[in-house]
Amino acid sequence: MGEDGQNVIIINGNPYAFEPGETILEVARRHDIDIPTLCHLKGAPPTGACRVCVVEVEGAASLMASCATPAGSGMAVHTETPKVVAARRQVLDLMLASGNHNCTIRQPDEADWTAQQLKVMQEDQAEELCPVWGDCRLQELAFRYQVTAKRYDPAKTLYPQELANPFIVRDFSRCIRCGRCIQACNEVQVNNAINFGFRGAALKIVAAGDRPLRNSDCVFCGECVQACPVGALVEKDTRYRVRPWETTRTRTTCSYCGVGCQLDLHVADGRVVRVTGAEDVAPNYGSLCVKGRFGYDFIHSPERLTTPLVRDGNHLREATWDEALDRVATGFKAIRERDGADAIGVLCSARITNEENYLLNKLARAALGTNNIDHCARL
């Protein structure tokens, strides 16, 4: 804690030291004090767009957005007062009414919670129910603050879904205009493919002068999908194929290149159904490229080779691993005896792990006796 209360903020009656430049939200999160957010994207400058993170600051004329307000010495902040809760409920109510958010918050009419759940599970068979039901930040906050969204009539859907893209479905009716996707694209990935377009109630996220993503500068890294807190941006292959609560997650390392990006495999019935970047660890902190995020269909491809093939004349035939390995070893030996070890070259793959590449290096130099080793990014 700073001397004489310097750089000390009071949150909910307790003093916390802060670094100059830190926002109220950052100090609170560092000390495990929960302040809900929607538009805030870690690593990008705050926009203060959604107002869900408002807090009461003693002496301030109005509620302050904690994500955009710097902490100040002696500042006394309250994060969950009745006034704060009322403001959040109002914001959530308006958001739920801003589009198509039929995530059962609208009709929590069943007195019995189990009956309500069953009703929702039945409705989930319909495409009308939001595809991210159960994995939506807006829905989560609506439950938390018990916002029923009955106060306002929902806004009309102005724009059709965009289904033309190879990996991403854009559903403008579910967009809450928080701007996280724009920041993810422009500030985090620096692709500058999307931005706000049109005005007022017609506001939408546009790409290349309101064209489909596939006709824009979008590289389909999917950073926007991961940043979207609602169901406005979803992976095409996952949509309506799997429900979030039916999957388990396994943390692993991407095998497409040597960067070592950390990702979470979402698995249902023994199959990988979705991939997301791991947000809490280096080196990628949630970001992935198009291959890492969407290129997982090879895992369960029926075309995948699972048995070694050896060439007999002009034909390839299935063989055992022992036979295949013997054939390779005999071939290498013959070449080395006839032409010397430098007649052999080894191409590694950027898609295998560093450890596997290291072992291949050992095989080339120590076993085969050649320094002719390189890698090819496409292998």
Quote the DSSP letter at residue 245.
Answer: G
CA-nearest of 159, 153, 193 to 175 is 159
Dihedral sign, Cα of residue 206, residue 93, residue 134, residue 157: negative
Q: How far is the CB of 121 from ligand FES (least distance, A)?
A: 31
| Bridge partners, residue 250, by sequence | 265
Q: How far is the CB of 54 from ligand FES (least distance, A)?
A: 7
Cβ closest to ligand FES, residue 142 vs residue 263: 142
- Binding residues (CB under 6 A) for ligand FES: these are 37-40, 48-53, 65, 67
Given the DSSP bridges, would you call strands 168-170 and 248-253 parallel, antiparallel or unpaired? unpaired
- Using CA atoms of 297, 302, 307, 311 in order, give the dihedral in degrees to the nearest 10: -100
Given the DSSP bridges, would you call strands 168-170 and 233-235 parallel, antiparallel or unpaired? antiparallel
Cβ closest to ligand FES, residue 68 vs residue 275: 68
Cβ closest to ligand FES, residue 174 vs residue 274: 174
Q: How far is the CB of 321 from ligand FES (least distance, A)?
A: 55
Q: How far is the CB of 195 from ligand FES (least distance, A)?
A: 18
Given the DSSP bridges, would you call strands 14-17 and 8-11 parallel, antiparallel or unpaired? antiparallel
Tokens (6 digits) for 140: 């989560």
Q: How far is the CB of 91 from ligand FES (least distance, A)?
A: 9
**Around Cβ 144, how many Cβ atoms within 10 Å?**
14
Q: Cα–Cα distance between 89 and 240 in angstroms, integer?
A: 29
Cβ closest to ligand FES, residue 37 vs residue 189: 37
Cβ closest to ligand FES, residue 63 vs residue 105: 63
Q: How far is the CB of 42 from ligand FES (least distance, A)?
A: 11
Cβ closest to ligand FES, residue 38 vs residue 265: 38
